[in-house]
Structure 1
Amino acid sequence: MHDTSDLTCARQRTERIALLNDAARQGRDRTARIVMTSGLLAEFGGDTVAQSMMVQARLMAALRHCTFAPDSPERDFASMDVDGIKVLMKVDYYDTELAFGSEDPANPAMTQRVITLMRPADY
């Protein structure tokens, strides 16, 4: 049997991580990094720098407005459709040097978030 205070604490921690992930996705976390796989960018095409920038802008807009399934309470994984192409979004938690996993994703002082946008084949 679980202590209700333990469950409350776990829920608060999960919600804190979710809010930090939201801030990273929405561009409000200056330390977060957003990367797109080369396979994803290639799938969208774009022969010029301007076309490539427009693709990236559409992907960033989709990232900021994506929705999450109930099985992603930390809002760290999502699937979305952009221009008819399935795109996955995954948040990973690293230490501040990007060398190891973060010991506490709920603590922004010791966590750097890296958001990856990719094709399902890249996952």
Structure 2
Amino acid sequence: MLNDTNAEKIRSLNDSFRRNLVFGGTVLLTPGVTSLEIDRQADLLEAVRKFDNFTPDNDPHGEHDFGAIDLGSDRFFFKVDYYDQTGSMGSPDPADPTVTQRVMTIMRADEY
């Protein structure tokens, strides 16, 4: 289990990445998201950027690495995963950005 200091570092890195969606990692959109009209995709990305409804149920480790968003009648998820610099295995330390690649997947809930 990670200590509180590591969780704080991970949370800060995840929040920064989620809010800018450019620096700090890679964003993957599933086919269910890329098939949406471009304006709806933009609305979804903006909702991900602004998401702040983290609770003990959806964020038990305090890392801000998962969220569920309702956009109209559709539900979407985002999930941040941590890989090593080669992208071939999990990061040895998600709190250290020098050894971690963040990958955020944004998907329709029905694709999960």
Task: Quote how far apart the aligned CAs of 1:29 are.
Answer: 5.9
CA contact (8 A) 1:23 1:29 kept: no
- When you count helix as a share of all residues, which structure comes out higher? 1
Query: For the aligned residues, what is the CA RMSD?
Result: 2.0
- The runs of at least 4 consecutive aligned structure 1 residues that moved more than 2 Å come to none
The residue correspondences of 1:65-76 to structure 2 (distance < 5 A) are: 65-66=50-51, 67-71=53-57, 72=59, 73-76=62-65
The sequence identity of aligned pairs, in percent, is 37
The higher radius of gyration belongs to 1
The more displaced of 17-26 and 76-85 is 76-85
User: Whole-Å Cα distance in 2 between the matches of residues 85 and 41 of structure 1?
Assistant: 14
Residue-by-residue CA offset, 1:60-110 (whole Å, 9 max, x unaligned)? 110111121224111111111123310101000011121211110000000
Q: Aligned residue pairs: how many?
A: 108
* 1:104 aligned onto 2:101: no
Q: Could you list the runs of 5+ residues in structure 1 that have no partner in the other structure?
A: 1-6, 47-51
Task: Quote how far apart the aligned CAs of 1:28 are.
Answer: 6.8
Task: Quote how far apart the aligned CAs of 1:16 are.
Answer: 0.8
TM-score, L = length of structure 1: 0.78
